[in-house]
Amino acid sequence: MKIKVLAMLLAGFSFTAMANGPETVVRETVKTYIESYLSNDYSSMKEVLHNDFQNQGINRDGSLSQPLDARGLKNLMKQQESTPVSEQNNEIEVISLQEEFASVRLVTGPENSRWTEEILLEKVRGTWKIKKIVWSF
């Protein structure tokens, strides 16, 4: 009986460890970023941004956007309509996961105006932070 209980506890521990593994944490970091961005919740979004955060992309006309830091992204958010999380359609794919860095592809936006973001994350003092975003329509 003790062995059975111990086996069940270990199985539960293994499942919890996998569920909270690095890939899950990276996905949750990106999810927090995009849900907060689209719903205009800067304070929540700022929590997952690296101190050296940069965001730049390719506009619809093919031109390169101006690079933005966190403050620039905050100003951009003030100009957009808020999209509730229940209405968002965010697809998150972890492309590469190393000990200190991760690469993620995010496809997001409303059906008539979706865009892709390639996101580089860096682990800072044990916490995943979004360092760079390159986006395109």
Query: What are the tokens at 124?
Result: 């800072």
Residue 90 lies in a domain: yes
Given a cut of 70, whether residue 10 has pLDDT beyond it is no
Each residue's pLDDT tens digit, 26-43: 999 999 999 999 999 999
The span from the CA of 34 to the CA of 45, in Å, is 8
When comparing pLDDT for 2 and 95, which is higher?
Answer: 95
* Element of type H or E holding 42: helix 42-46
Q: What is the pLDDT of residues 60-98, one digit of tens each?
A: 999 999 999 999 999 999 999 999 999 999 999 999 999
Q: How far apart are CA 19 and CA 72, in angstroms?
A: 34
Closest Cα partner for 105 from 94, 113, 96? 94
* CATH code, domain carrying 119: 3.10.450.50
Is residue 4 one of the residues assigned to a domain?
no
- Asked whether residue 8 is assigned to any structural domain, the reply reads no
Residue 65 lies in a domain: yes
pLDDT at site 110 = 87
Number of domains in the chain: 1
The tokens 């951009």 sit on which residue? 76
Q: How many residues does the chain have?
A: 137
| Domain annotation covers residue 109 | yes
| Residue 96 counted as domain residue | yes
Burial (CB < 10 A; 0-12, 13-18, 19+), residue 50, is middle
39 in a domain, yes or no?
A: yes
Q: Is the pLDDT of residue 13 over 70?
A: no
Mean pLDDT, residues 105-131: 96
